[in-house]
Amino acid sequence: MAGNVGLLAGLAALSALSAVLVAGAAARLVRPTAVAASIADRPRSVDLDSEPRSMLDEPGTRQGYAFLAPTGQPSSLTCEQAHRIVRQARAALAYEPGPVAPGALAAAAADWLDPHGLWSAAPDSPIPAALDQHAEALLHELEEADLSGCSAARAVGDALVRWTAELGARFDESRRQTRSASGALPASVLHAAAEGVVFEDDVRPARQLATLLGERAGRVESGVGAAVTAYVDVARARFFPSFDGEQWADVVRAAAVRAYVQLVDPHGAWASVDEEASVYDVDLDARPPDRLWDDGVRTAIGVRVESGPMDPLQVGDVVVAIAGMATAGLPVEQLDQLVYATTDAPVSAPIVVLRRGERALRTLDLPAPDDQDTDSEPAQQLPAYRVSFGAGDALIVEIHDVRSDLGDELAATLRAQTTASARAVSGLLLDLRDDGGGSTEGAIAAIGLFLPGVPLFPMVRRDGLIEVDRAPEPPLTDQWTRPVATLVDGDTASAAEMIAGALAAYRRGLVLGSSTYGKGCAQEYLDDVAHVGVLRLTTLLYSLPDGSPVQGVGLEPSIFLPAPTPARSGAGHGREREADVQNAPPTWRGPDVRDRSRVLSAAAASWPDPRGTVGPCRDASVCRALFALAAASPGKRPTAALTPAPAASGRR
């Protein structure tokens, strides 16, 4: 009890800071795109009276996102809420979804249900069998309007009551025995228990894991004392919730909805407000918010910092609480969201850690972020370099992902690079290899630098309504009138395919490399109609300006270069393409919307004859592309042999 009193007293001391953060939930939600509605409330299925509450109710928006600090409770949905979200997802898709197999729903729901490898993913869990048994009825409850009874999820919930009670008893007994037998622990034993890995890639039996968690927690309590007891109590409540059957049924329904959405839309997702950062994972990867650490490992009592700690954290610290919220037992999705909310909060956030070599918890103060006027900051520049191309240079610009401000970034890069040397820039090669795409708006803005004002991509919705995007018209000083080409591979996808495809459709620039991934669909973010979470859904299919399909087809290069290219992020060549994805959206051919007066002749897209050497290059594939462009020029072929630079080391 002493630990609880001390913890609650510490939270009370933060009330003056947290008071400035209290505002309506609708004002808190900042989306990367427009949303359908505001979330007015945050229903709770369960209250954990002993759980520390976070002060981060109103995060900031330095990165363009604002995330609520999570509650630490599992996502849950009533039967009606689950049905409404499924109906919304099916109606908003750009295509008629295929049928969902009950077995597939059961398997995917078991994965989503279990954040710890204790409830339904462990090999000794009885819950997968219960989900299989009731999968057909559960599917009916999600899809059909008749909600009478809604008993399928409740049957699985009743099984979870018995299962988690058994596991909780094992945890309690192991914790009790360890505390009574430990005595004065050496510091090395204490920290081995606090830092030890318990959640592995290969899920261990749940009974074994529950016992191990209790043993680790008991050792830490023996070594640290009552100060850590409140945090262990919270972890216990999260690992083994004391829910009744109906409360567990709500958790099962939430897992089933997450599974269902991804089964009908492989690019889609649903998450509760507590875990909505997971819906924006692609965007956050492209422009990540600040993080408290780069890599961390969940332990029995918190998170061990592995690398890249933000000051004043250190490698090896076990983070027990962030801004008043215990970290032990949080799902990965909620832990990530808590970190995002913390680093963007406009107030200083306390972090409780157990540091190596110490026996007492210490509290660190994470400084509040400096005020930043992001509108006045200059656009970032993209990785770029020059390669000799005859009397001038070819400018190579690497586009790793398509962010919403790509147009500004590319314009800033071109301005800087064209004035950085007295040598003329003969042409621009956009390296789009291993670029999985991103923002449609970013792609269109970038295309405007080369094709200002032209009609671009026809996009079709479920009702057949076709929208046509038009490229912006940037200032004349930013418009690129010299030759341009794109280098692509099998990992070039989505918005990156838009850039290469639009330049090719207007004959503005040649496409070199190999066939692209073939993702000709776009996702939008929507608040769900139940007002409890967020949907990412494929709501649009698009084609190239000339009507050529992209979805499931990809782009065929103007000049095929079979040589393999290195991958930046481990994705590599040869992975599956969009056409291989189960339940992927269908192929769609659109109308030709090009402004025919702006379609260039084939000769207009060609590069000048270098009349001499090309290279050397640090990336052999880039030099092959430049030689191919030179060979396609109206003049004669270059005479030099391809000579990669001696310091070739990947693509940077």
DSSP string, 418-441: HTS-SS-EEEEEEE-TT---B-HH
Q: Is the pLDDT of residue 381 over 50?
A: yes
> What six digits make up the tokens of 302?
């918190």
Q: Can you tell me the distance from the alpha carbon of 137 to that of 252, in angstroms, rounded to the nearest whole number?
A: 13
Q: Is the pLDDT of residue 575 over 70?
A: no
In a domain, 95, yes or no: yes
- C-beta separation of 567 from 434 below 8 A: yes
Contacting residues for 230 by C-beta, under 8 A, at least 6 apart: 3, 4, 6, 7, 50, 52, 326
In a domain, 646, yes or no: no
Contacting residues for 451 by C-beta, under 8 A, at least 6 apart: 471, 502, 503, 506, 508, 598
pLDDT in tens, 78-107: 999 999 999 999 999 999 999 999 999 999
Range of the domain at 589: 384-631
- 476 and 540 co-located in one domain: yes
Q: What is the pLDDT of residue 54?
A: 35
User: What is the reported pTM?
Assistant: 0.84
Contacting residues for 109 by C-beta, under 8 A, at least 6 apart: 131, 138, 252, 255, 256, 258, 259
- C-beta separation of 545 from 538 below 8 A: no
Q: Can you tell me the distance from the alpha carbon of 304 to that of 302, in angstroms, rounded to the nearest whole number?
A: 7
Q: What is the pLDDT of residue 281?
A: 82
- C-beta separation of 423 from 479 below 8 A: no
- C-beta separation of 152 from 137 below 8 A: yes
In a domain, 372, yes or no: no
Q: Is the pLDDT of residue 284 over 80?
A: no
Which of 104, 105, 118 shows the shortest CA–CA distance to 153?
Answer: 105
Residue whose token pair is 């690019």? 267
In a domain, 227, yes or no: yes
- 349 and 495 co-located in one domain: no
Q: Can you tell me the distance from the alpha carbon of 529 to that of 88, in angstroms, rounded to the nearest whole number?
A: 7
Lowest mean per-residue pLDDT among 94-98, 251-255, 637-641:
637-641
More confident residue, 38 or 456: 456
Residue 357 identity (one-letter amino acid): G
Contacting residues for 377 by C-beta, under 8 A, at least 6 apart: none
Which of 530, 589, 519 shows the shortest CA–CA distance to 89?
Answer: 530
- 404 and 309 co-located in one domain: no
> What six digits make up the tokens of 284?
């956050």
pLDDT in tens, 159-175: 999 999 999 999 999 99
Q: Can you tell me the distance from the alpha carbon of 547 to that of 525, in angstroms, rounded to the nearest whole number?
A: 26
Which of 584, 597, 594, 604 shows the shortest CA–CA distance to 523?
Answer: 584
Q: Can you tell me the distance from the alpha carbon of 535 to that of 529, in angstroms, rounded to the nearest whole number?
A: 10
44-58, 165-179, 189-203, range with greatest mean pLDDT: 165-179
- 437 and 340 co-located in one domain: no
pLDDT in tens, 516-526: 999 999 999 99
Q: Give the three-state DSSP class for 344.
A: coil
Which of 75, 23, 31 shows the shortest CA–CA distance to 527?
Answer: 31
Helix, strand and coil content of the chain, in percent to the nearest 5, comes to: 35, 15, 45
Q: Is the pLDDT of residue 429 over 90?
A: yes
Residue 423 has φ and ψ, to the nearest 5°, of -70, 140
- 358 and 404 co-located in one domain: no
Q: What is the pLDDT of residue 182?
A: 65
- C-beta separation of 344 from 369 below 8 A: yes
Tell me, rounded to whole angstroms, the distance of Cα 44 from its chain centroid. Answer: 25
Q: Read out DSSP for 553-574?
A: T-PPPSEE--S----SSS--TT
**Which one of 366, 400, 428 terminates a domain?**
366
Q: What is the mean pLDDT of the chain?
A: 84
Tell me, rounded to whole angstroms, the distance of Cα 416 from its chain centroid. Answer: 31
- C-beta separation of 498 from 443 below 8 A: yes
Which of 475, 411, 471 shows the shortest CA–CA distance to 444?
Answer: 471
Q: Is the pLDDT of residue 466 over 80?
A: yes
In a domain, 640, yes or no: no
**Looking at the DSSP assignment, which residues form a beta bridge with residue 470?**
455
In a domain, 641, yes or no: no
- C-beta separation of 83 from 307 below 8 A: no
Which of 404, 475, 471, 410 shows the shortest CA–CA distance to 441?
Answer: 404
**Which one of 366, 400, 424 terminates a domain?**
366
- 334 and 392 co-located in one domain: no
Residue whose token pair is 């070739």? 648
- 330 and 197 co-located in one domain: yes
Number of domains in the chain: 2
Angle at CA of residue 169, ends 163 and 170, nearest 5°: 95
- 358 and 486 co-located in one domain: no
Q: Can you tell me the distance from the alpha carbon of 9 to that of 363, in angstroms, rounded to the nearest whole number?
A: 14
- 80 and 108 co-located in one domain: yes
Pairing of strands 509-513, 484-488: parallel
pLDDT in tens, 254-279: 999 999 999 999 999 999 999 999 99
Lowest mean per-residue pLDDT among 167-181, 330-344, 346-360, 622-636:
622-636
Which of 384, 622, 618 shows the shortest CA–CA distance to 485?
Answer: 622
In a domain, 207, yes or no: yes
Task: Say which CATH number the domain at 526 has.
Answer: 3.90.226.10
Q: Give the three-state DSSP class for 256.
A: helix
- 359 and 494 co-located in one domain: no
- Give 291's pLDDT tier (boundaries 50, 70, 90): confident
**Looking at the DSSP assignment, which residues form a beta bridge with residue 468?**
458
Sign, CA dihedral 170-172-177-179, equals positive
Q: Is the pLDDT of residue 650 over 50?
A: no
Q: Is the pLDDT of residue 315 over 90?
A: yes
Residue 9 identity (one-letter amino acid): A
- 396 and 360 co-located in one domain: no
In a domain, 35, yes or no: yes
> What six digits make up the tokens of 407?
């147009």
Percentage of residues of the chain with pLDDT beyond 90: 68
Q: Cβ–Cβ contacts within 10 Å for residue 535, how many?
A: 27
Helix H or strand E encompassing 117: none
CA separation, residue 261 to residues 86, 97, 429, 438 (Å)? 7, 10, 39, 20
> What six digits make up the tokens of 639?
């005479």
Mean pLDDT, range 233-246, rounded to an integer? 97
Mean pLDDT, range 169-196, rounded to an integer? 87
- Give 369's pLDDT tier (boundaries 50, 70, 90): low
- Give 609's pLDDT tier (boundaries 50, 70, 90): confident
Residue 170 has φ and ψ, to the nearest 5°, of -65, -45
Q: Give the chain's length.
A: 652
- Separation of first and last alpha carbons in the chain: 56
- 322 and 263 co-located in one domain: yes
> What six digits make up the tokens of 19?
């008071």
> What six digits make up the tokens of 404?
């919403």
Helix H or strand E encompassing 588: none
Residue 534 identity (one-letter amino acid): V
